[in-house]
Amino acid sequence: MSLAATTPALPTTGPVPASEEVRGRAPQQGAGPSRPRVLSIAGTDPTGGAGIQADLKAFAAHGAYGMAVTTALVAQNTHGVRSVHVPGAEFLTEQLDAVSDDVVIDAVKIGMVADEANARVIATWLGRVRPPFVVLDPVMVATSGHRLLDEGAEQAVRDLVALADLVTPNLPELAVLLGEPAATTWPDALAQARRLHAASGAVVLLKGGHLTGEESPDALVGPDGVTTFSAPRVDTVHTHGTGCSLSAAVAALRPRRDDWVGAVRDAKTWLTGALRAGGVLAVGTGHGPVDHLAHLPTLGLRAFSEEAWERIAGWREAVEGMGFVRALADGSLAAEDFGFYLAQDAAYLAEYARVLSRASLLAPTPEARQFFAGAAVESLEVEQALHRDWLGEHAGMDRGAVEDVDPSPVTAAYTNHLHAASNGSYAETVAALLPCYRLYAHIGDVLVRRAGDLRGHLYARWIALYGDPSFAEATRTACAFADEAARWVSPAERERMLRAFELSAMHEYLFFEQGLVRPGWPVPPVGRQAAQV
Ligand SMILES: Nc1ncnc2c1ncn2[C@@H]1O[C@H](COP(=O)(O)OP(=O)(O)OP(=O)(O)O)[C@@H](O)[C@H]1O
Ligand SMILES: Cc1ncc(CO)c(N)n1
């Protein structure tokens, strides 16, 4: 039997029929989905702090795939609700069917239902399409005091509670659902939550946001008794949409947690962080929203290596303009000064290679381990070899003598900084190592351009090494590893990375500077008539 014979033709206009055949074609069974598919049925908040907009953010914040069906369009902002437009029950049905005819729903969160007809539509739909987890936030009145549910619709919401797995009332909503006065103490509220659970069968997540005191506790009240989740009360006026965000987070987490306790615990911890970060969002002049992405503070920031490079713009320019670097480029640098610099650089590279090895040890991936181990070898075999050759030829120093060079205070300060950074994290270590690549590749590039024809240039081999495309390539790779490491760190850790990078850049400046300014420090016995390298 062909599909064409069993599947009704899709009309070009009007609603798509919710036939079993249409539903059955959804190519989604088979391999398990990578993310829970979670639906919000709620009203809107065009300022993005509450309602559907908040739900979608909370879903994404917990790694769920978010979907949304709109019950009501609400003209509201951080000061309050201006007006509500309800498209109507028929259109709500069409939206719900459009989703459930096509997509498997792993969890659903119901927020503002707006009126009785909408509540009935949702109840009917739940009777037909029963997602494994149904969370109901019985939104009745906004934080600002504006009604979000018609007065006549309270019974219809009570009926919805009986269809939900979890219901998340605040204190006034709990009272309305029971037809009792609002509780003013936590024990009274718990007693009411027990009564609602007994009457409806739904697990109750009682929210203590409307209480006063040091804590803002919530409690799960269900067949296993009461589980309390205590959390410090955040001193903030930015609580717009906390209820929406919490219930959405619980719905997003539940398919990947063993029970409601696990989902609520993680959602509550997340919400407390989101509340703390809400103030600096600077959204609106009233009761602003929470920061749904407070746990991902580095999301969207520029690549670490770009930000770090910009931060040292002043030092970069200073290095380009240094007398030592200018003289290196035009070949006028005294051989004795170059010899001193090279001998110190040999001492530096010995330590640099050890810190590269440590980066390899700390690196989280085989690729990074291999790169930094290879870089350690390269810095000794290629870079330090240049130093050994030159110092051998021009200062008569054998390998042992080069290896015995005492680091100057400036050299020691730089390598001590690298070792200190490498006692921190991998990310900090890589950040500290990076200027040595980045600044040298940059200077190599500048010098190749400044020096012009390198034939006959006294320091041609040094300039060619750092101006070589292969050094630029290694620098790009090192930057990519630093950027990858920075992707997963906290803001404090990112700041430590930037500081480590900046300090290394400053040390690079001082390192060149000591080539010309070195009060009485030992200089290798460089012959006066230095030949071309
Ligand atoms: N100042 C606060 N500090 C810490 N947690 C809070 C604070 N205010 C609310 N919460 C928490 O936010 C969640 C929502 O609680 P609340 O009682 O405010 O619900 P709601 O009234 O439905 O929210 P909404 O403001 O979205 O209408 C609960 O987990 C509550 O404990
Ligand atoms: C659409 C909508 N749902 C819920 C709330 C409660 O915060 C709100 N303000 N707006």
Identify which of 57, 70, 76, 168 to mutate to test ligand 2's pocket (most ligand atoms within 8 A of the CB). 76
Domain-wise residue ranges, the chain: 35-281, 304-513
From the CA atom positions of the chain, what is the Rg in Å? 33
**Alpha carbon of 233 to ligand 1 centroid (Å):** 9
Question: From the CA of 72, which ligand is nearest?
Answer: 2
Alpha-carbon span 514 to 306, nearest angstrom = 28
DSSP-derived secondary structure letter, 532: -
Atom of ligand 2 nearest to the CA of 81: 9
**Alpha carbon of 50 to ligand 2 centroid (Å):** 5
Q: Residue written as tokens 């798509």?
A: 16
CATH of 35-281, one of 3.40.50.1820, 3.40.1190.20, 3.40.50.920, 1.10.150.570: 3.40.1190.20
CB under 8 Å to 14, separation ≥6 — which residues?
Answer: none
pLDDT at 216: 87
CATH of 304-513, one of 1.10.490.20, 3.30.70.260, 1.20.910.10, 1.20.1300.10: 1.20.910.10
pLDDT at 531: 46
Residue 242 bears catalytic tag: yes
Count how many residues are written for the chain: 533
List the catalytic residue out of 48, 51, 66, 241: 241
pLDDT at 481: 98
Q: Which parts of the chain have pLDDT scores under 50? A: 1-28, 528-533
pLDDT at 12: 33
**Alpha carbon of 99 to ligand 1 centroid (Å):** 30
**Alpha carbon of 246 to ligand 1 centroid (Å):** 8
Strand partners, 147: 141
Q: Residue written as tokens 């959390």?
A: 231
Measured from CB, residues less than 6 Å from any atom of ligand 2 are 42-45, 50-51, 74, 76, 111-112, 139, 142-143, 148, 241, 243-244
Pair 239, 143: CB distance under 8 Å: yes
Residue 377, amino acid:
V
Give ipTM to 2 decimals.
0.94
Residue 239 bears catalytic tag: yes
pLDDT at 4: 34
List the catalytic residue out of 49, 78, 244, 515: 244
Strand partners, 205: 220
Whole-prediction pTM value? 0.79
